[in-house]
Amino acid sequence: MKCLPIFFSLLLAVFGGVSGEDCECSPLDGSGVIRSPGYPNEYPVNCSCLWTITADAPITLKFEEFFLDDNAGCHDEFLRITNFDWAAFCSEEAPETLETSETILTVIFKSDVNRSEKEDRKFSVSYHSTPPCDAGWTRFRDNCYLHITTDENDFSLNEAEARCQGMGAHVASVHSEEENQFIAHWIRRPVSYIGARAGPNFSSDRNDFHFLDGTATDFSNFNSGEVYLVNDNYFVLMVDKWINFPCDEERSFICANDDGSEITVRPSNSTFEAARSSCSSNGGDLMKISDQEHMSNVLRKFLESPKLDPATEFWIGLRRDESAGEWLWVQDGSAPTYSNWVSGRPADLSGHDCAAVVPSTWATVAFTAPAFTCKKLAVTP
């Protein structure tokens, strides 16, 4: 993907960074490129920079060169995108392009105290704005998306598809983990239609399905617990995987008794500690998910309550103990023996010490869903 000059006219402002000791951060001068300090030479040790890019259309980053030190969890040395779920990159592992729906991006660079053997550590990242979609739609790569909820009873996939087609779109197909996460980030119900139907052999072959828009079935993301309800009528994107967040943010939550046999989903916004107090008042605590069976029970609970609104993220009873530096279940203080984190999580971010389940994987259901996403090809100027 080229960084075309036409897009630079869309940039409203770019603001330079904050440099660390003995570190000269490259200015954002309208060239559309962020480079490591001292580029093309190796950047200094113990160096930090911050850049903020502001535009009037969604911003795309392209990693032209990317050679950072390898370090566990990208903790000591990284390039981090703060308002793109705090995505962090290190080593030589970075996407070729990173397309966002954001018009403001903050990029942070930090180097560790070690100089590389070959002294070849550096990076160069170009950025440009992509043309906006229609009002209310958001852009990801070459497509525009509109996320819709409905209070209509028995709102079928056929009705959702008809509504999308009326806008020149289809209920969204999904072709990559990145696209799946993009759609999951925007949906406003714990269960939302995917634009797909099962084939006659789906019960024995999970690859036997097709997307409504006729695109290739080259991606699927069914939950690992094999939670599928009877008839396999509809495909839905639903809450499942875990992400860590600041504990003082407000979310809905999941309460359970000691053995996890009684689960209650509460779609009311509370901080982590307030959620614990609410669960405790009814003789329980935030849920401990000790194995795949417990996680599958949670999925079934959501499939029984698809119209929880506007809840899409739910606290569970997993919190990081700052003094011990490890994750523990608050119910009994035990360390997890089962893990269900979103890829790349838990993020090692200050204050992000409490876990929640978020929309992430697919299931099949026999009822109708209260939400869906329309998808259509973006218009290229």
Question: Would you place residue 20 in the very low, low, confident or very high pLDDT band (cuts 50, 70, 90)?
Answer: very low
* pLDDT at 29 exceeding the cut of 80: no
Question: Measured on CA atoms in the order 69, 72, 77, 81, is the torsion positive or negative?
Answer: positive
Same fold, 5-129 and 138-238+365-377: no
CATH architecture of 241-361: Roll (3.10)
Residue 116 has a pLDDT of 82
Q: Over pLDDT 90: what percentage of the chain?
A: 43
Is domain 5-129 annotated with CATH 2.60.120.290? yes
Domain chopping of the chain, boundaries:
5-129, 138-238+365-377, 241-361
Average pLDDT over residues 101-111: 87
d(Cα 319, Cα 367) in Å, to the nearest integer? Answer: 34
Residue 379 has a pLDDT of 76
Core vs surface per residue 137-170: b (16+ CB within 10 A) or e: bbbbeebbbbbbbbeeeebebeebbebbeeeebb
CA distances from 250 to 183, 187, 264, 273 (A): 22, 17, 18, 10
Q: Which of 207, 177, 138, 210 is nearest to 373 (CA)?
A: 138
Highest mean pLDDT: which range of 8-12, 99-103, 141-145: 141-145
Q: Write out the CATH class of domain 138-238+365-377.
A: alpha beta
